Amino acid sequence: MLSDMNIELSIEFFPPQTAEGLAKLKNERAKLATLKPDFFSVTYGAGGSTRVRTFDIVKEIAAEGFDAVPHLSCIGSTRAGIREILGEFRATGIRRIVALRGDLPSGMAEAGELRYANELVEFIRTETGDAFQIIVAAYPEWHPQAKSPEADLRNFARKAKAGANASITQYFYNADAYFHFVDKARSAGVEIPIIPGIMPITSFYKLARFSDACGADIPRWMRRQFEGYGDDVESICAFGLETVTRLCERLLQGGAPGLHFYSMNQAPLILEIQRRLGL
């Protein structure tokens, strides 16, 4: 039974741009808090564009008594800039960070002083020792810029070797891709937990656009089914819920150590998936 298993649960938000979005996020967060997640994480905009907003929400979450985990990306940044941010995190009592390379914002040509996430992990360890638990990104369907699956796996292993404690995957809808990736990582000597990232589905067309950009595959059988529903939002939601719930079930039964939900700042689908899973 899934309810007897020790499953790590985390939920990700993005920093809204408006006061209205912030108020809504607070509301959705309160609903998700009933799930007692291990942590809430907050994304970090390309090139530091959301630095202040990310940090403000992280502080708000921490004040509510939850483990608040900021994402931090290094592309386009300097060592001095990252050092300053790490100092702010420490002073606030933050204990975990999701450490990423990020993507260069359009118009920004300079990659900065730390080019890849493994360099950021190494920098955080050198600067702060064991002050933070470091989580990195993993890609069961491979990162879109990777030269080859083997090269991507080597780069993932570099992040673990540099001192990452755990990883969260890009979302995917093919459980076999996850299990294959975990097998490959273990064969390459990478022992850190690999937590599947789960994207609940509200709008198929938005998801399809986003997935093309980040290299996540929507399997043909799912695509065809969604397309068949046209604008029938209710059927899209029902099919999305059923598919994602079954994916979570398969992942957990197959040994995944937990679930990390990409919430898109919305609670209802996550609450319903957890209810159906009996968690």
Of 239 and 261, CB closest to ligand FAD = 261
Of 166 and 201, CB closest to ligand FAD = 166
- Which residues of the chain form contacts with ligand FAD (CB under 6 A)? 43-44, 46, 71, 73, 98, 100-103, 116-118, 137, 143, 145-146, 151-152, 155, 158-159, 168, 170, 197
Least distance (Å) between residue 102 CB and ligand FAD = 4
Of 50 and 237, CB closest to ligand FAD = 50
Least distance (Å) between residue 4 CB and ligand FAD = 27
Least distance (Å) between residue 169 CB and ligand FAD = 6
Distance CA 228, CA 226 (A): 5
Catalytic residue, from 12, 28, 122, 141: name it: 12
Where do runs of H (alpha helix) occur along the chain?
Answer: 19-33, 51-63, 79-92, 117-128, 149-162, 175-187, 204-214, 220-229, 233-253, 268-277
Least distance (Å) between residue 123 CB and ligand FAD = 13
By C-alpha distance, which of 134, 77, 88 is closest to 110? Answer: 77
Structure-derived torsion over alpha carbons of residues 249, 213, 263, 228, reported in degrees to the nearest 10: -60
Of 28 and 152, CB closest to ligand FAD = 152
The long-range contacts involving 18-21, CB below 8 angstroms and separated by at least 24 positions, are 21/265
150 φ, ψ (degrees, to nearest 5): -65, -45
Least distance (Å) between residue 138 CB and ligand FAD = 7
Residues in the chain: 279
Distance CA 124, CA 110 (A): 21
By C-alpha distance, which of 50, 47, 61 is closest to 16? Answer: 50
3-state secondary structure of 102: coil
Of 170 and 265, CB closest to ligand FAD = 170
Query: Is residue 12 annotated as a catalytic residue, yes or no?
Result: yes
Distance CA 229, CA 249 (A): 25
What is the Cα 213 distance to its own chain's centre?
16
Least distance (Å) between residue 199 CB and ligand FAD = 11
Structure-derived torsion over alpha carbons of residues 29, 35, 40, 42, reported in degrees to the nearest 10: -40
Of 105 and 278, CB closest to ligand FAD = 105
- By annotation, the residues acting in catalysis are 12
